[in-house]
Amino acid sequence: MKCREFKQWLEQEGPETVRMPKEISEHYSSCPHCRLFVEEERFWTRIFALAPVPSGSKAQWPKIRAKIQMQLDRQEVFNAMVVLMSRRLAPVFVILFVLLGVGTLWREPVARAPDSSPSMLGLVEGSQSRWRPFEEDRIFDPWLAGTQG
Amino acid sequence: MADEKDWVDRAPEGDIEAFRFLVERYEARIYRLVARMLGPEHEAMDDVVQDAFVKAYFSLNKFRGESSFGTWITRIAVNRAHDEIKKQRRVSSLDELSLDKLEQYLATAAASEASGAESAAEIGQFVRRAVAALPERFRVVITLKDLEGLSYEEVSKILNRSVGTVKSRHARAREKLRGLLGPRIFRLVRR
């Protein structure tokens, strides 16, 4: 028998156990390491047996039940709101959204860019400093200098 | 009489009486565990115990039965107690407080020993205070393994750690506890 098996047996039976099967008993008497281990376990068992056991309150159920009911009620209110939203308010929001979209299109039809104002020109003329590249551009920079006179 | 698995199956279907059976079976154990983790005079003790069961009720549909209901509810209670300890630690250091109290107690107990009036109950209180003074990660292992008498496998499932980690933490916890108890307690227990 190995020490590991002995310890597993001891964990199941507890260190205060008196009856040891023959195989266990033989290992116990021949292994000083396991004898020390049993002594140690017995010592700790005695120590922990001295610690007082906290006695539990027996009236937990009514309070637990009340808390469960409170959460169930809260869930019910939430579910009712979700149902109200999905069945009543959601269609109203959809209709409102469609009406707003139609109204906006009616007042401002989709804009077309005027042919006389190319967007690139506006970009270059309007914000030269901001759009200037970090590196020298052999084609763009001379052209830009030319347009500025 | 229906067995525990039946009650666990019936409770999520709205059978509140089935859940009552489970609460009544485990409330003393959970109360004891929480009292040992937080200290028996902790003001939020009842709330922690109740919240653990309420959380269990609403999570029963996620309970897959890989461990027993007892192990599962213990895990929920340990987590809830851990949250409470964290919350309190934000206000003051629980471990430091416990150590201060232990030192005060040591002084009283030394006087008591000198007068030869130390009783088993007093030694018991001393052990309890020493366990309460352990850092939380050690206290929980000592509580589950030594005070509640659970196996390493059960403790590993509750703490969601490997058995090896639990064993090494348990050994370190006992080492720390030995340091806190000091040689005086060893003399008293061996005599």
Q: What is the pLDDT of residue B132?
A: 86
The answer to whether B76 and B52 are in contact (CB under 8 A) is yes
B139-150: per-residue pLDDT in tens? 999 999 999 889
- Of A109 and B35, more confident: B35
Half-sphere exposure of residue B117: CA atoms within 13 angstroms, side-chain side: 5
pLDDT band at B184 (very low <50, low <70, confident <90, very high): low
Closest residue in A to B147 (Cα) is: A48
What pLDDT was estimated at residue B93? 46
Residue A130: the pLDDT is: 55
The pLDDT-based confidence of A112 (bands split at 50, 70, 90) is low
- B152 touching A (Cβ < 8 Å): yes
**Which of B28, B58, B124 is nearest residue A50 as measured by Cβ atoms?**
B124
Is B181 part of the contact surface with chain A (CB cutoff 8 Å)? yes
Structure token pair of residue B162 = 């490997």
pLDDT band at B94 (very low <50, low <70, confident <90, very high): very low
Using an 8 Å CB-CB cutoff, list chain A residues near B36.
54
* Closest C-alpha among A10, A4, A8, A2 to residue A45: A10
Q: Which of A64, A74, A76 to mutate to test the interface with B (most CBs of B within 10 A)?
A: A64
Percentage of the residues of chain B whose pLDDT score is greater than 70: 79
pLDDT beyond 90 at B165: yes
Question: What are the b/e assignments for A37-47, b being 16+ CB within 10 Å?
Answer: bbeebeebeeb
Which chain B residues are within 8 Å of A53, Cβ to Cβ?
32
Tell me which range, A91-105, A106-120, B108-122, is most confidently predicted by mean pLDDT. A91-105
CB pairs under 8 A between A and B: 77
The residue-averaged pLDDT of A98-120 equals 70
Q: Do residues B46 and A60 make contact, with C-beta atoms less than 8 angstroms apart?
A: yes
What confidence tens digit (pLDDT) does each residue in A37-64 have? 888 888 888 888 888 888 766 678 899 9
Q: Residue A61 is nearest to which of B20, B58, B131, comparing CB atoms?
A: B20
CB-nearest to B131 from A12, A51, A61 is A51
pLDDT above 80: residue B115:
no
User: In chain B, what percentage of residues exceed pLDDT 90?
Assistant: 38
User: Inter-chain contact A50–B174, Cβ cutoff 8 Å?
Assistant: no
- Looking at the complex, report in whole angstroms how far the Cα of residue A124 sits from the nearest Cα belonging to chain B: 59
Long-range contacts of B19-25 (CB under 8 A, 24+ apart): B19/A68, B19/B57, B19/B60, B20/A61, B20/A65, B22/B56, B22/B69, B22/B73, B23/A60, B23/A61, B23/A64, B23/B53, B24/A61
Nearest-CA distance from A70 to chain B in Å?
A: 10
Burial class (CB in 10 A: 0-12, 13-18, 19+), A105: exposed
Residue B88: its pLDDT value, please? 78
CB contact under 8 A, A56 and B28: yes
Contact B126, B109 (CB under 8 A): yes
Residue A10 has pLDDT above 60, yes or no: yes
Question: Tokens at residue B28, please?
Answer: 């003393």
Residue type, B98: S
Under an 8 A CB cutoff, do B35 and A43 touch? no
Residue B85 banded pLDDT, cuts 50, 70, 90: confident
Judge whether B31 is closer than 8 Å to chain A, CB to CB.
yes
CA A84 to chain centre: 29
Q: Which residues on A lie below 8 Å from B105 (Cβ)?
A: none
Judged against a pLDDT cut of 70, whether residue A103 lies above it is answered with yes
Q: Which residues contact A15 (CB under 8 A, 6 or more apart)?
A: A38, A41, A42, A45
Check: CB of residue B7 under 8 Å from CB of residue B22.
Answer: yes
Distance, CA of A113 to chain centre: 48
* Residue of B114, B104, B93, B102 whose CA lies nearest to B181: B102
Q: Is the C-alpha dihedral spanning B116, B120, B126, B130 positive or negative?
A: positive
Cross-chain Cβ contact A56/B35 below 8 Å: yes
* Average pLDDT value for residue range B58-66: 85
Query: Which pLDDT value is given to residue B51?
Result: 94
Q: How confident is the model at residue A118 (pLDDT cuts 50, 70, 90)?
A: low
**What confidence score (pLDDT) does residue A110 get?**
58
Contact B127, B181 (CB under 8 A): yes
**Whole-structure pTM value:** 0.68
- Output the pLDDT for position B133: 87
Report the residue from A11, A52, A60 with minimal CB separation from B124.
Answer: A52
One-letter identity of residue B37: M
Predicted pLDDT at B90: 61
How high does pLDDT run on average in chain A? 79
pLDDT at A119: 56
How is chain A classified by DSSP, letter by letter?
Answer: --HHHHHHHHHHH-TT-----HHHHHHHHH-HHHHHHHHHHHHHHHHHHHSPPPPPPS-HHHHHHHHHHHHHHHHHHHHHHHHHIIIIIHHHHHHHHHHHHHHHHHHSPPP---TTS-HHHHHHHH-HHHH--SS--TTHHHHHHHHT-
Tokens representing B132 are 């309460």
**What number of CA atoms fall less than 13 Å from residue B107's CA on the CB side?**
5
- Residues in chain B within 8 Å Cβ distance of A43: 186, 189-190
Name the phi and psi angles at B58, rounded to 5: -80, -5
B153 contacts chain A (CB < 8 A): no
User: In whole angstroms, what is the distance from residue A16 CA to residue A10 CA?
Assistant: 9
Residue of B nearest to A64 (CA): B50
Is the pLDDT at B117 greater than 80? The verdict is no
Name the residue with higher pLDDT: B89 or B43. B43
Of B129, B128, B178, B190, the closest CA to residue A52 belongs to: B128
In this prediction, what percent of chain A has a pLDDT beyond 90? 11
Q: Say if residue B186's pLDDT is above 70.
A: no
Mean pLDDT throughout A33-39? 89
Chain A interface disruption, residue of B38, B80, B128, most A CBs within 10 A:
B128
